[in-house]
A = this chain, B = another copy of it.
Amino acid sequence: MKLTSKGRYAVMALVDLARFDNISPVSLRDISLRQGISLDYLEQIFSKLRKKEIVKSVRGTQGGYVLNKKTKEIKLTIIFDAVDEKVKTVQCKKESKKGCNGKLTKCVTHNLWDDLDKHINNFFEQKSLEDLVKNNIEKRI
């Protein structure tokens, strides 16, 4: 049970962006250096974030990225969704009218995984970028 580094990097990069974008756009190069994430990989990630309107890009010299929403509104849910980090702990097959395990019933643990997904998503829906930035400033990390 792991989170992919794409999801993790997306959050790290956005926290970084949230802390610096009040002055001017933040270049991916800067984020790359500060967070230790490959520039090429960051570009892939930000392309997705831009499509979901979480960030805006500013082109040209001195350009970069800016947040496109308030930090309070950017919940982890929408970040993970943007970079295809799915919280689907178990994929029960939906073959025609069959349930999981190839039979007509649901598998014995079906409800359990549903509950688990809800539990995790609940966490992601509550945490916003604002929380993370605050947490960082408070603890002076």
Is the CB of A23 closer than 8 A to any CB of chain B?
A: no
Is A127 at the interface (CB under 8 A from chain B)? yes
For window 122-141 of chain A, which residues contact chain B by CB distance below 8 Å?
A: 123, 127, 132, 135-136, 139, 141
- Give A92-113 as 1s and 0s: 1 = Cβ < 8 Å from B's Cβ atoms: 0000000001110111111111
Copies per complex of this chain: 2
Among B36, B86, B112, B135, the residue within 8 A (CB) of A1 is B86
Instruction: Count contacts on A: residues with CB < 8 A to the other chain.
Output: 44
Chain A residues in contact with chain B, CB under 8 A? 1-4, 7-8, 11-12, 15-16, 35-37, 80, 85-91, 101-103, 105-113, 115-116, 119-120, 123, 127, 132, 135-136, 139, 141
25 A-B residue pairs with Cβ-Cβ distance under 8 Å, sorted by A, are A1-B2, A1-B4, A1-B7, A1-B80, A1-B120, A2-B89, A3-B89, A3-B113, A11-B109, A12-B107, A12-B108, A15-B108, A37-B101, A106-B141, A108-B136, A110-B141, A111-B135, A112-B127, A112-B132, A112-B135, A115-B123, A116-B123, A119-B119, A119-B120, A119-B123
